[in-house]
Amino acid sequence: GDSVTQMEGPVTLSEEAFLTINCTYTATGYPSLFWYVQYPGEGLQLLLKATKADDKGSNKGFEATYRKETTSFHLEKGSVQVSDSAVYFCALSTMGNTGKLIFGQGTTLQVKP
Amino acid sequence: EADIYQTPRYLVIGTGKKITLECSQTMGHDKMYWYQQDPGMELHLIHYSYGVNSTEKGDLSSESTVSRIRTEHFPLTLESARPSHTSQYLCASRKSSYNEQFFGPGTRLTVL
């Protein structure tokens, strides 16, 4: 079945460091890919998305490119801030079924001043 | 900004109580979902609905039930809460023509 695998956390970085969180997926068909972010005590917020191969999603300095050849959707940011500390979830959705999201296990990011 | 609401945000109750977690959205979305988030943060789909009078069970077996009498409302009920139900419950919705789901703030349930 469809699945998403994220790099394990926690990830601890200093402010202004470069961030990469790896995400790979397994899916039949052509899924849409998402990154969601969850701040402490809150629900999930959509960070960015890509709906087809080679699409680049971007938002708030974060970027991810849909790589069909490597089945990956790695999240990157050039310079993290303390306010980026949160849990990040990679997810996929295929339109052909319920439209449900299949999530990775989440990666905790802690940014230190 | 997504308009999806969940109440209560936090709930602590004793074993055996009946509870209902409320979820409402004002976006006119036809599809709605309930996810359970365990302490390890993984999210599992427990219920979903395609529209009014449509409900289906998700990937993770749950003793909870749901109803969808109105488009905007998708409550989740536990007839007899147990400590194993302690978790965070997240409600989400989406429009059929789009893939992204919008999430509510969640209800953190603790059953003593």
Q: Which residue has the tokens 């079945």?
A: A1
CB pair distance less than 8 Å for A93 and B99: yes
Q: Is the dihedral of CA A103, A109, B2, B7 positive or negative?
A: positive
SS3 A111: strand
pLDDT band at A2 (very low <50, low <70, confident <90, very high): confident
B66-105 pLDDT tens trace = 999 999 999 999 999 999 999 999 999 998 877 789 999 9
CB pair distance less than 8 Å for B103 and A99: no
B20-44 pLDDT tens trace = 999 999 999 999 999 999 877 889 9
A26-40, A86-100, B57-71: segment of lowest average pLDDT? A86-100
* Å between B42 CA and nearest CA of chain A: 5
DSSP strand pairing (B43-51 vs B31-37): antiparallel
As a whole number, mean pLDDT of residues B6-11 equals 96
Question: Can the peptide bond before residue A10 be classed as cis, meaning omega within 30 degrees of 0?
Answer: yes
pLDDT band at A8 (very low <50, low <70, confident <90, very high): confident
Query: What part of B 35-54 touches A (C-beta under 8 Å)?
Result: 40-43, 45, 48, 50
In this prediction, residue B95 carries a pLDDT of: 87
With contacts defined as CB-CB under 8 Å, which chain B residues touch A43? 6, 90, 103-106
A25-82 pLDDT tens trace = 999 888 999 999 999 888 899 999 999 999 999 999 999 999 999 999 999 999 999 9
